[in-house]
A = this chain, B = another copy of it.
């Protein structure tokens, strides 16, 4: 049993293909009689438009591709993805766009993404956690395709519009809070220094501490729990009198917490601990993490909105940053 086509609907409704097409796309100039008849015929036949045929002539794909950049394999245990994906799906659905997922880890992956986009199979690209210097960014810029990023792309802030939380301001909030609590020797565990969360959260930290933010009190992690553990260990060894730590993510904070506990430091009595993200893990540690909440759903929402604007023909859209909030729990 073949799927009904627009011809079948036209026949059933007693009108022509053109009229059915007009009804389908909400064109002007369709009599109510014809409209009713076709709508009935559509319902009766169970017709559903063939996107391929449509795309072939309209040159529009009807889908958006979301590219996950993941340099090192699997290490990235980012809990943010689910929220972003969910939000993007919902938001795109209102425009009848579907979401295609792709991974851009190595050169082969990037090639695949590029082929897909070049083939005209996506109306836009949604970048996720792209690191500085990713060759895909320039490649995409070379083609003429709407692209936005969820979180800034370091070094390409003016090429790829983005929506992100106020990374720097959030870090300032946390650092200021730690200072206000009377902490004097505050260390930081940063994220990778080729991501906005890595760079800008450190900047916010330095903004508040000024020259008190010595190199000795800064260690770099890679967002993973394990890196938080070892960064904390290095910090303790170098400066045993630390009385506060700001980790650039909750997951790394959880790692730092383990190390602190193993070293016999009480949190928050001996060492105050601050995280960032307010992800699920923040509630499951003991003590629960004092952290900076970034409104992920809102960020995702904005990112998609920017992309839709570009797809609709906007020449240039302004990046947006949304404010963060200090969530005080038990670790600081």
Closest B residue by C-beta to A50: B119
Pairwise interchain contact B100-A63, C-beta atoms closer than 8 A: yes
How far, in whole Å, are A13 and B79 apart by their CA atoms in the complex? 49
Interface status of A239 (Cβ within 8 A of chain B): no
Shortest Cβ distance from residue A93 to the other chain B in the assembled complex, whole angstroms? 6
Contact partner of A285 (CB less than 8 A), chosen from B85, B89, B103, B286, is: B286
Interface status of A184 (Cβ within 8 A of chain B): no
How far, in whole Å, are A46 and B51 apart by their CA atoms in the complex? 25
Task: Please encode chain A, from 235 to 267, with 1 for each CB lying within 8 Å of some chain B CB and 0 for all others.
Answer: 000000000000000010010011001000000
Interface status of A3 (Cβ within 8 A of chain B): yes
Interface status of A55 (Cβ within 8 A of chain B): yes
User: Given the known A-B contacts A55-B52, A56-B52, A56-B53, are A103 and B79 also in contact in the complex, defined by CB atoms under 8 Å?
Assistant: no
4 smallest CB-CB distances across A and B, nearest first, come from A254-B284, A52-B52, A52-B55, A48-B119
Given A48-B119, A52-B55, A98-B116, 7 further pairs, Cβ under 8 A: A50-B120, A52-B52, A52-B56, A70-B86, A225-B280, A257-B284, A258-B286
Shortest Cβ distance from residue A108 to the other chain B in the assembled complex, whole angstroms? 9
Task: Please encode chain A, from 58 to 86, with 1 for each CB lying within 8 Å of some chain B CB and 0 for all others.
Answer: 00010100001010001001110110011
User: Given the known A-B contacts A85-B101, A93-B112, A100-B98, are A49 and B119 also in contact in the complex, defined by CB atoms under 8 Å?
Assistant: yes
Shortest Cβ distance from residue A46 to the other chain B in the assembled complex, whole angstroms? 7
Interface size on A, residues (CB 8 A): 51
Interface status of A115 (Cβ within 8 A of chain B): yes
Shortest Cβ distance from residue A282 to the other chain B in the assembled complex, whole angstroms? 9
Pairwise interchain contact B98-A3, C-beta atoms closer than 8 A: no
Closest B residue by C-beta to A112: B93
Pairwise interchain contact B120-A225, C-beta atoms closer than 8 A: no
Shortest Cβ distance from residue A60 to the other chain B in the assembled complex, whole angstroms? 10
Task: Please encode chain A, from 29 to 48, with 1 for each CB lying within 8 Å of some chain B CB and 0 for all others.
Answer: 00000000000000000101
Pairwise interchain contact B283-A284, C-beta atoms closer than 8 A: no
List 21 contacting pairs A-B, 8 Å CB cutoff, sorted by A: A3-B118, A46-B118, A48-B119, A49-B119, A50-B56, A51-B119, A52-B52, A52-B120, A70-B86, A79-B280, A86-B103, A89-B102, A93-B102, A93-B109, A98-B116, A99-B101, A99-B102, A100-B100, A280-B281, A281-B284, A285-B286
Closest B residue by C-beta to A101: B99
Task: Please encode chain A, from 85 to 105, with 1 for each CB lying within 8 Å of some chain B CB and 0 for all others.
Answer: 110011001000011111100
Residues of B within 8 A of A101 (CB): 85, 89, 98-101
How far, in whole Å, are A71 and B15 apart by their CA atoms in the complex? 41
How far, in whole Å, are A89 and B113 apart by their CA atoms in the complex? 12
Residues of B within 8 A of A103 (CB): 86, 89-90, 93
